[in-house]
Amino acid sequence: MVQQNKNYIELKNINKSFEKFQASKDINFGIEKGRLVALLGPSGSGKTTILRMIAGLENADSGEIVIDGKVVNDIPASQRRVGFVFQNYALFRYKTVYDNIAFGLKVNHWNKADIKKRVSELINLVNLNGLEKRYPNQLSGGQRQRVAFARALAPNPELLLLDEPFAAIDAKVRQELRSWLREMINKVGITSIFVTHDQDEAIEVADEIIITNKGRVEQIGSPREIYNTPRTAFVAEFMGHPTKINNISSFWGFTGLDASYHAVIRPENVSISKKTDKIRYEVTAEEGVVERVLFRGKELEIWVRIHGILLQGTRRAEEEPIREGEQVKVFIYRAYVYKEDGEVQIVVNQTIRAEESVII
């Protein structure tokens, strides 16, 4: 565990309700200085609420928010030195790009020359040269996003909060902006929290991921930890586009399991082969019927029905093609298995286990 006093920002037992609805339930986490952390969870899980409480736009009902060793619960938003990038950017419509970025400096009584220097520095940083005189409605989505980013950074905040910074941007630009943001934040070295409901984004960009669900924190860890070792049923079902299975013990290779176990299986752990293919773990391969084949560019996404369940697997595009309706061999390498509200275990197919023990 991280030592308590090393955390730059810390939330302790935070609760928050909107009238009768409890949006945050006993939230606890700490973030070290200079880290980029993702708040990942489904829509309505309370991500924005957490961000707004840290910024001071919303008051927690109970609990403490500590920034840099100080409890900030009673410090107003304007004095928390927090930069905030809103989900829809909230650029000042009636101000130019320059004035948007300069606003925070003006209200903090910087002198003109310093403002000019700082703004042009930021314009350079986010690569918006030549657009200073434009109004927000004359910019593309990506450009707006960068203005919002520059505007939030202008007064040198200690902490940067970003609410779904890429939500309003199309897929291709989004990919670029992700790595751009990662780079920018490294360059500036600012502690940052960003909200997303896109797990690929969180995995790719963040140092650490906090998974939220129904107002609670489910799991905190590095992207690798979260992805490879989900600790709760929710995280297991949320990460990696898995298929949920309620009768795992009827699958070959997992027959030793208690029938009351639930399980999820991720597509990358399912191998699909033609009947004529020779495969390594022939013994516990299942037979299934292909219902759907989707072309995904570098690979094929294949949906097979086994024991009444539609399971997703992948196959490389250059392999011999598989058609819909075809009988295939399906081998499941591993499953994430759990009881209702219990710990998640990773169970490897029996054949592999047997083989490994033979080797040992």
Partner 1 sequence: MNIRKDSGSLKWILIGICAVFLTVMLILPLVYVLITAFEKGIHVFGTAVSDEYAVKAIFLTLKVTVITLIFNTIFGIFAAWCITRFQFRGKKVISTLIDLPLTVSPIIAGLIYVLTFGRQSALYPFLKSVGINIIFAVPGIVLATIFVTFPFVSREIIPVLTAQGTDEEEAAALMGAGGFTIFREITFPHIKWALLYGIVLCSARAMGEFGAVSVLSGHLRGKTNTMPLYIELLYQGYDFTGAFAVSAILVLMAVVILILRSKLEKKGKKEVD
Q: Does 46 bind ligand ATP (CB under 6 A)?
A: yes
Give residues 316-335 in contact with ligand ATP (rule: CB under 6 A): none
The footprint of ligand ATP on this chain (CB under 6 A) covers a number of residues equal to 12
CB closer to ligand ATP out of 46 and 142: 46
State yes or no: residue 322 binds partner 1 (CB under 8 A).
no
* Residues 31 and 208: beta-carbon distance below 8 Å: yes
Q: How many angstroms separate the CA atoms of 47 and 52, rounded?
A: 9
Q: Where are the beta strands (DSSP E) in the chain?
A: 7-18, 21-32, 36-40, 62-67, 70-71, 82-85, 159-163, 191-196, 208-213, 216-221, 243-245, 262-265, 270-274, 286-295, 299-306, 309-316, 327-332, 334-338, 344-348
Q: Using the rule CB under 6 A, which residue among 10, 27, 38, 49 binds ligand ATP?
A: 49
Minimum CB distance to ligand ATP, residue 343 (Å): 25
Closer of 11 and 126 to ligand ATP (Cβ): 11
Span near ligand ATP by CB under 6 A; candidates 47-55, 148-156, 264-272, 330-338: 47-55
Q: Tokens 């294949």 appear where?
A: 302
Rounded to a whole number of angstroms, the minimum distance from the CB of residue 196 to ligand ATP is 8
Only one of the segments 42-50, 127-135, 198-206, 234-242 lies at the binding site for Mg ion (rule: CB under 5 A); that segment is 42-50
Site track 192-211 with ligand ATP (rule: CB under 6 A), x = hit? -----x--------------
63's contact among ligand ATP, Mg ion, partner 1, none, with CB below 5 to 8 A by partner kind, is none
Nearer of residues 48 and 349 to Mg ion, judged by Cβ = 48
Contact status, residue 87 vs residue 144, Cβ threshold 8 Å: no
- Identify which of residues 197 and 329 has a Cβ nearer to ligand ATP in the complex: 197
Among 7, 24, 45, 48, binds Mg ion (CB under 5 A): 48
**Residue placing its CB nearer to ligand ATP in the complex, 45 or 271:** 45
Laid out side by side, the sheet with 62-67 consists of 21-32, 7-18, 62-67, 70-71
- How far is Cα 342 from Cα 231, in angstroms, rounded to an integer? 9
- Sequential DSSP letters for 221-268: E-HHHHHH---SHHHHHHTT-PEEES-GGGSTT-TTS-TT-EEEE-GG
Nearest to 311 by CA among 232, 246, 236: 246
Are the CB atoms for 200 and 240 separated by under 8 Å? Answer: no
Per partner kind, with CB cut-offs from 5 to 8 A, the member of ligand ATP, partner 1, Mg ion, none near residue 46 is ligand ATP
> Which residue reads 């101000």 in tokens?
95
Least Å distance, CB 170 to partner 1, is: 22
Instruction: Work out whether 91 is an interface residue with partner 1 (CB under 8 A).
Output: yes
Binding-site partner at residue 104 among Mg ion, ligand ATP, partner 1, none, CB < 5 to 8 Å by type: partner 1
**Cα–Cα distance between 333 and 280 in angstroms, integer?**
12
Residue 108 is classified by DSSP as T
Q: Decide whether 20 or 109 has the Cβ nearer to ligand ATP.
A: 20
Tokens at 308, concatenated: 């009444």
Longest dimension (CA), the chain: 77
Contact partner at residue 84 from ligand ATP, partner 1, Mg ion, none, CB < 5 to 8 Å by partner kind: partner 1
CA of 303: how far to CAs of 155, 283, 350, in Å? 52, 22, 23
Tokens linked to 227: 């992805």
The site for ligand ATP (CB under 6 A) is made up of 18, 21, 23, 41, 43-49, 197
The site for Mg ion (CB under 5 A) is made up of 48
The site for partner 1 (CB under 8 A) is made up of 55-57, 77-80, 82-84, 86, 88, 90-95, 103-104, 107-108, 151, 154-155
